């Protein structure tokens, strides 16, 4: 039933093949539809948003913006216990992301040079939040809080309305806790178009973040360059490395928590213990039967689950570095000695008592992570994602006189005589 392997160097290709089957071929059909929607929003503004919301969400809106009354009504539907948990999670996320704030710096040199880097928050950010039955207030926190910490002036959220034209209450309360400025009821590619180009009611933003379906993802890729986007997200995965001291019940539960996300999610288990492997597989069967998302879990585990026996923890980490999983759990006794060996992973969960949901919901690190092997070059969403830099540079007249001829020679080597000229006119005037 499961894909079980004894690890060897040449098996790696097989693993990758299984994982890569998940990468959906983007149909050009979707791209065309999205391009049409984007063009319509660019030309017609709010009118297009109202029209497309009727078409896709089946509701005619009078106002796109969520009013204070509607927000209060949504908030009243959420119990205080959950509000308090949201507040506490928000504090933890804020505290973690505060540590990633960057400062401008300047280097004053004795020879009349000063240079450095200016760090400035983005001005306006748009956060996309999917609608539908499965709504994720945790993602709302994870996308808004870092932008707020970075100092973004205005953060606006877009999310599709339900059949009654209302916003999801859990999403509303999370947005409020995170400190959103404005919420608009619009979803799909049309919402991305509104954020990228601006309409009468929704101002153009500098960056769009947040997850979405294939239409939203395609629209984000289309407008990239017109605005910045967070990342190109693919199917997600967990890789659990466990030694013989790990509890098979815990390991199984963690593999299941990833598998329930969607049919394309992948749970990868790598261990040095045959006994743990066998017991975990038994546990998977027992626990799955009790879970609400049983069908999704079974399909994900059978198709994209990998169960790999390794000879050493070193070998397991080496394999993990090749796969570059979104989530990596190290359920091993010697955490501090092995963490340095991890090169490629979105987020690393250490020890026997840090299952992924601790990070998904509560502890502080961001849960928006590079997926599908992109942890080799992408980083988690962070405070830095909402900061940008400018370099700056000052040369004194004396310093330019000293170095001018080198710069002239360099420019001439490249055939750019006007570049050389802009130094020459100054050096000649300032000859000492």
For the bound state, the minimum distance from the C-beta of residue 99 to a second copy, rounded and expressed in Å, comes to 6
3-state secondary structure of 56: helix
Burial class (CB in 10 A: 0-12, 13-18, 19+), 135: buried
Q: What angle do CA 145, 234, 252 make, to 5 degrees?
A: 85
Q: Which residue in 97, 250, 261, 327 is the catalytic one?
A: 327
Q: Which is nearer to a second copy, 52 or 248 (CB)?
A: 248
| CA proximity to 128, closest of 180, 93, 88 | 180
- The window from 36-44, 49-57, 66-74, 372-380 that contacts a second copy (CB under 8 A) reads 372-380
Q: Look up residue 107 and give its two tokens.
A: 């280097």
Give 127's strand partners: 157, 209
Under the criterion CB under 8 A, does residue 81 sit at the interface with a second copy? yes
Identify whether the C-beta of residue 146 lies closer than 8 Å to the C-beta of residue 382: yes
Stretch that binds a second copy, among 39-47, 60-68, 135-143, 185-193 (CB under 8 A): 135-143
Q: What are phi and psi of 365, to 5 degrees?
A: -60, 155
Q: Is 44 a catalytic residue?
A: no
303's enclosing H/E stretch is: helix 294-304
Least distance from a second copy to the Cβ atom of residue 106, Å? 9
35 binds a second copy (CB under 8 A): no
Does position 285 interact with a second copy (CB under 8 A)? The reply is no
Nearer to a second copy, 9 or 69 (CB): 9
The reply to whether 54 belongs to the active site is: no
Piece of the chain touching a second copy by CB under 8 A; list 42-50, 95-103, 154-162, 194-202: 95-103
**Could you tell me whether strands 113-121 and 105-108 are parallel, antiparallel, or unpaired per DSSP bridges?**
antiparallel
Catalytic residue among 283, 298, 326, 356, which? 326
Q: 48-65: b or e for each residue (b if 16 or more CB lie within 10 Å)?
A: bbbebbeebbeeebeebe
Work out whether 402 is an interface residue with a second copy (CB under 8 A): no
**Subset of residues 176 to 235 that bind a second copy, contact rule: CB under 8 A:** 206-207, 224-225, 227-228, 232, 234
Single residue of 287, 303, 318, 333 touching a second copy by CB under 8 A: 287
- Residue 43 near a second copy by CB under 8 A: no
Contact flag: residue 343 with a second copy (CB under 8 A): yes
Question: Which residues does the annotation mark as catalytic?
Answer: 326-327
């Amino acid at each position: 039933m499961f894909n079980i392997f004894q690890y060897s160097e040449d098996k790696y290709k097989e693993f990758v093949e299984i994982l890569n089957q998940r990468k959906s071929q983007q149909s050009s059909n979707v791209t065309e539809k999205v391009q049409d929607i984007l063009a319509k929003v660019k030309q017609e503004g709010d009118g297009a948003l109202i029209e497309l919301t009727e078409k896709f969400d089946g509701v005619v809106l009078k106002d796109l913006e969520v009013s204070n009354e509607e927000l209060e009504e949504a908030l009243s539907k959420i119990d205080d216990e959950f509000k308090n948990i949201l507040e506490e999670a928000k504090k933890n996320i804020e505290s973690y992301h505060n540590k990633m704030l960057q400062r401008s710096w300047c280097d004053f040199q004795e020879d009349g040079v000063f240079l450095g880097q200016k760090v400035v928050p983005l001005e306006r950010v748009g956060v996309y939040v999917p609608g539908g039955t499965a709504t994720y207030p945790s993602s709302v926190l994870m996308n808004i809080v870092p932008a707020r910490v970075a100092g973004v002036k205005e953060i606006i959220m877009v999310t599709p309305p339900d059949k009654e034209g209302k916003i999801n209450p859990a999403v509303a309360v999370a947005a409020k806790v995170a400190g959103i400025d404005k919420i608009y009821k619009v979803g799909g590619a049309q919402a991305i178009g509104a954020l990228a180009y601006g309409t009468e009611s929704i101002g153009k933003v500098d960056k769009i973040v947040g997850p979405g379906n294939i239409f939203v993802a395609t629209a984000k890729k289309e407008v990239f360059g017109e605005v910045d986007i967070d990342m190109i997200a693919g199917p997600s995965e967990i890789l659990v490395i466990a030694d013989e001291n790990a509890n098979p019940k815990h390991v199984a539960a963690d593999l299941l928590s990833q598998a329930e996300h969607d049919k394309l999610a992948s749970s990868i288990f790598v261990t040095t213990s045959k006994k743990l492997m066998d017991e975990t597989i038994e546990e998977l069967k027992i626990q799955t039967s009790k879970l609400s998302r049983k069908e999704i879990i079974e399909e994900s585990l059978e198709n994209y689950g990998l169960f790999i026996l390794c000879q050493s923890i070193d070998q397991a980490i080496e394999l993990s570095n090749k796969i570059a999983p979104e989530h990596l759990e190290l359920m091993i006794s010697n955490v501090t000695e092995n963490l340095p060996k991890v090169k490629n992973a979105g987020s690393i969960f250490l020890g026997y008592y840090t299952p992924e949901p601790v990070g998904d919901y509560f502890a502080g690190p961001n849960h928006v992570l590079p997926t599908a092997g992109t942890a080799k070059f992408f980083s988690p969403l962070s405070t830095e994602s909402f900061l940008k830099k400018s370099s700056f540079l000052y040369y004194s007249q004396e310093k330019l006189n000293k170095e001018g001829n080198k710069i002239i020679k360099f420019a001439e080597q490249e055939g750019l005589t006007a570049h050389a000229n802009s130094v020459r006119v100054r050096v000649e005037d300032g000859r000492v």
